[in-house]
Copies of this chain bind each other. A is one copy, B any other.
Amino acid sequence: MTARDLSGAPVAEAIRQRTTELVGRLAGAGVTARVAVVVATGNEATAWYVRSIERAAAQLGVECQVVDLAGATHQQLAEAITALNEDASVHGIILQTPLPPAVDAAALVALIDPAKDIDGANPLSLGRLSVGQPAFAPATARSVIEILEHYRIPLSGQHVAVVGRSAVVGKPLAQLLLQRDATVSICHSKTVDLGRITKSASVIVTAVGRANLLTANEAGETSVVIDVGTNVNAEGKLVGDVHAASVRPLVRALSPVPGGVGTVTTALLVLHAAQAAEASLQLDPAKGAHMAGRR
């Protein structure tokens, strides 16, 4: 027996279809969704990722504006974000990490208008998500939910172990899971006897960034495992947090790295941009529609 493969590709494709439909409706209202990506560093990985957002947006008729501010000061970045907040033609703002060490990253993300914070970077977005108000979750956290829901993995009343407590994955993911009535255990580097928690869970999500964190010792036969980790191994290959060779033959289902969550996030960012455009439209009472739910 081997695990069912929870591949990201069909999930991303379904998200692109939803985006296409939404972009069509927006076009009917005379609106083109637009996302601004603020880039503050010149590194190659960032440039590659930003190009992948540009491509995904272009493919779906969403405009993508790259604001290249490599070498900018904190003040210049703050002014750029404020200008994008005030620009009604911009619906989504992504402040691309990493940021230069000289800037106050916490102060910058706090500037992003929550209505445009399509990658859930502002702590206010996380706070709103936590109390059930409309807010965007970080695309990576949300991608885990999209995969679980696409493959119809039950969440209500189920015990889900989230390994990792970062502000971009573990913590917002825990809130998204609680909204779906899962019982959520948040584990991390200080967790004693990880396997005792993860083996009792029906779904395990690993989001730590450490290869071989989850082995056959920490997974059970009924586990559904979603690997969010991205690590480069000694051979220079991209691997997840899961020791796939030992875990795959054991568990019920596995979302792999590469080919899993990472495949979904970019598509989701573009969907979020379109949803932000829709919400901005619906905030206009003349258009008469209700506020979009973005939980």
* A residues whose Cβ falls under 8 Å from a Cβ of B: 106, 122-128, 130-133, 156-159, 165, 167, 171, 174-175, 178, 181, 183-188, 190-192, 196-197, 200
Contacts and interface: CB of A to CB of B under 8 A. Distances in A.
A99 B227 CA distance: 44
30 contacts: A106-B131, A123-B124, A123-B127, A123-B128, A123-B130, A123-B131, A123-B133, A124-B124, A124-B127, A126-B127, A130-B130, A130-B171, A131-B167, A157-B190, A157-B192, A159-B197, A165-B178, A171-B175, A178-B186, A183-B188, A183-B190, A183-B192, A183-B197, A184-B185, A184-B186, A185-B186, A185-B197, A186-B186, A197-B200, A200-B200
Contacts of A175: 171
A156 B123 contact: no
Provide the main secondary structure of the chain A interface: mixed
Given A124-B123, A167-B130, A188 B181 contact: yes
Given A127-B124, A133-B106, A133-B123, A185 B188 contact: no
A156 B126 contact: no
Copies of this protein chain in the complex = 2
